[in-house]
Amino acid sequence: MSAADPLEKGAPQKAMAFQNRCKDAWGERVSVTYDQRANCCRIQCKPGHLVEIGQWLLRDLGFVFATLIADESQPGQPTLDYVFCDNADSPWAHVVPQLDADTCAVPSLVDLPQGPSLDWHEREVEDLFGIHFEGHPRLGEFILHEDWPEGVNPMRRDFDAHAPYEHREIDPNWEPPTIVVAPGAFAMPIGPVFSDFAESAHFLLETVGEDVIRTIPRFFYKYRGIEKLAEGQAPDRALLIAERFSGTSAFAHGLAFCRAVETICNVGVPARAETLRTIFAELERLRYHAAVITGICNSTALAVATSQAALIEEGLLRLTCEVAQHRYLFGMLAFGGLARDTSNHLCVHLADRVLSIARALHDLHAMLRFSSSFLDRLEEVGQISTEQALAYGLVGPIARASGIARDCRKDFPYAAYDNVNLTVAHEQEGDGYARLRVFFHEAEQSASTIHALAQALPDGPTCIEEMILRSGVALTAVEAPAGTAFHWLRLNDDGTVARYHITPPSFANWHGFHLAAENFAFQDFPIILASFGLWNAECDR
């Protein structure tokens, strides 16, 4: 991503206005450049100004934190890139502190407005890159659990991923951290091993009675080093990794990776391919939401409703296999389009089927709305306020159920979403029932979107004939079923992956899960858990 001259002619007016505001506020203390192709302003500063600039963006300008990218393009010289966004009319803001190679330390931003949304990001970078965040209260043993040796940072260039490392002996007196100090206080562990298909996660519930006072989550039992595995790979090999690290959202993450490669290589995607990409993305969302609804019904012990929702989910899986030859859409994507075409006849068949499935979902929702025993377990349970959701940077249906009407498909349209009349479904209560309503509304909207696009599918090719790989950097965002996913990619001169960073929606939403679980009874925990509709594997990348 080459930075353009800040006064380049033809730059959007709002970008120019943003640059001028930066210069007025910070003068010579920052260097501001604008990249018109990526619509982003790059603000370089000294680490000492990082907190002030972050506060200015978040509090004064109303930006929201998007992601934090750590890289090491030169050996021994890590870099940080704090990414903030507002809306489609404003440029993205990339704040890049000039790190000192000797100290590799910057001030933490967790005490800022929306600072909690940076909490896990800073802890992740500290574990994987060894960059210290001064003032952060909870660094250490986050991604890398206590059996990893001290001083090992697996994302640094000097770490050999193929060499075995000596596991650290676990302290026999180690105890999980607790917060509650009161007579009769106790901690109840849940996990990390679960039945069925749930991946590993540990929740420590602290209480002095029947209500959970504090919830302390612990993930990354299955840290797979996805980003490290991608390094040095050809993009088509890395695409396989992007599709498979989170199978329930394979198409969304694969699409984000493809768009990053396409942005770097400056290639366009045919209109038919863009439309089909949108159809498949919405088909994945519809199936994902049906699975979440099944889980919520199951958590409240409604056997009949669970069976009905599970039949809908299975029907969508079979339909997906029928039109795409894979139940989870693996192998459909290619750089510059799709790996194979889908006939107009099959698309019309898909459109008809999803409408009948949407009617079944509508009927199920209507029945659940009048089930008092069901509503008693969801209404006013697991509440997250709008202010909390903003502070923790929650995304997707979880944020929209708390009154935040943000959706990447509408805020920053991609693929064929410019041609979709999308209304962002959102609620205000922030409880389990509000989240359920958002899942139902979005599922029905996905069906309507698929039907409308399939009826107006343009003719033409579904993939470009050739793409020439080149070096470069790109950041892309897609609205995965669970929320906004950010994929940042840097390619070497030979076209191989130099650095690949994924910020999945589960990473943001699991961080805010404790807000919903606290101050509610123990028996509410599995229902609140189901209402979030998240998957541990997407977080444990």
> Per-residue pLDDT for 10 more than 60?
no
Closest residue by Cα to residue 114 from 143, 82, 81: 82
Q: How far apart are CA 272 and CA 459, in angstroms?
A: 6
pLDDT at 185: 79
For 143-160, write each residue's pLDDT tens digit. 998 888 888 899 998 888
Q: Please state which of the ranges 115-119, 272-276, 537-541 shows the lowest mean pLDDT.
A: 537-541
Residues of the chain with CATH 3.30.460.80: 13-134
pLDDT digits (tens, 9 = 90+) for 217-231: 999 988 888 999 999
**What is the reported pLDDT for 7?**
40
Identify the three-state secondary structure at position 373: helix
Q: Are strands 92-97 and 186-190 parallel, antiparallel or unpaired?
A: unpaired
CA distances from 299 to 152, 399, 523, 524 (A): 40, 21, 10, 9
192 compared with 283, residue with greater pLDDT? 283
Interior angle at CA 160, CA 158 and CA 164, nearest 5: 140
Lowest model confidence (mean pLDDT) among 254-258, 492-496, 535-539: 535-539
pLDDT in tens, 397-411: 999 999 999 999 999
- For the 13-134 domain, the top CATH level (class) is alpha beta
What is the per-residue pLDDT for 11? 52
Q: Is 273 left (phi over 0), alpha (psi -120 to 50) or beta?
A: alpha
How many angstroms separate the CA atoms of 84 and 63, rounded? 6
What contacts 508, CB < 8 A, 6 or more positions away?
117, 120, 392, 393, 394, 395, 483
What value does the mean pLDDT take over residues 112-132? 92
**Whether pLDDT at 5 is above 70:** no
Give residue 186's Cα distance to chain centre: 33
In this prediction, residue 271 carries a pLDDT of 96
pLDDT tens, position by position, 36-92: 888 888 999 999 899 999 999 999 888 999 999 999 988 878 899 999 998 877 889
Summary mean pLDDT of the chain: 90
pLDDT tens-digit readout, 487-520: 999 999 999 999 999 999 999 999 999 999 988 8
The DSSP line for 413-451 is --TTGGGS-------SS-SHHHHHHHHHHHHHHHHHHHH
Q: How far apart are CA 475 and CA 488, in angstroms?
A: 4
pLDDT at 4: 38
Q: How far apart are CA 148 and CA 127, in angstroms?
A: 10
Res 180 pLDDT > 80 = no
Residue matched to tokens 């189901």: 530
Beta strand 337-338 with 483-491 is unpaired
Burial class (CB in 10 A: 0-12, 13-18, 19+), 23: middle
- Exposure letters 321-345 (e unless 16+ CB within 10 A, then b): eebbeebbbbbbbbbbbbeeebeee
Distance in angstroms (rounded) separating the CA atoms of residues 10 and 22: 19
Residue 166 has pLDDT above 80, yes or no: no
* Residue 58 CB-density burial (10 A; 0-12 exposed, 13-18 middle, 19+ buried): buried
Start and end residues for every CATH 1.10.645.10 domain found in the chain = 226-539
Query: With 70 as the cut, is the pLDDT of residue 367 above it?
Result: yes
pLDDT at residue number 152: 87
Structure-token pair, residue 228: 């490290």
Task: Say what percent of the chain tops pLDDT 90.
Answer: 66
Q: 422 or 185: whose pLDDT is higher?
A: 422
Answer whether 205's CB lies under 8 Å from 212's CB.
yes
- Quote the CA–CA distance of 107 and 221 in Å, as a whole number: 28
Residue 181 belongs to what H/E stretch? none
Place of tokens 């599922």: 443
pLDDT value of residue 9 = 45
Query: How far apart, in whole angstroms, are the C-alpha atoms of residue 255 and residue 244?
Result: 12
At 35, is the pLDDT very low, low, confident or very high (cuts 50, 70, 90)?
A: confident
The share of the chain scoring above pLDDT 70, in percent, equals 98
Q: What is the mean pLDDT of residues 347-362?
A: 94
Burial of 305 (0-12, 13-18, 19+ CB in 10 A): buried
DSSP state for residue 48 in the 8-state scheme: G
pLDDT at 1: 38
pLDDT per position as a tens digit, 293-342: 999 999 999 999 999 999 999 999 999 999 999 999 999 999 999 999 99
Give CA–CA dist 29/42, Å, rounded.
13
pTM of the model: 0.93
Q: What is the pLDDT of residues 377-390, one digit of tens each?
A: 999 999 999 999 99
Task: Evaluate if residue 24 carries a pLDDT over 80.
Answer: yes
Is residue 3's pLDDT more than 60? no
Q: How many CB atoms lie within 10 A of CB 211?
A: 13
Q: Is the pLDDT of residue 202 over 50?
A: yes
**Per CATH, which fold does 226-539 belong to?**
Cytochrome-c3 Hydrogenase; chain B (1.10.645)
Token pair recorded at residue 496: 């191989």
The radius of gyration of the chain from alpha carbons, rounded to an integer in Å, stands at 23
Cβ proximity of 532 and 398 under 8 Å: yes
> Does residue 138 contact residue 216 with C-beta atoms inside 8 Å?
no
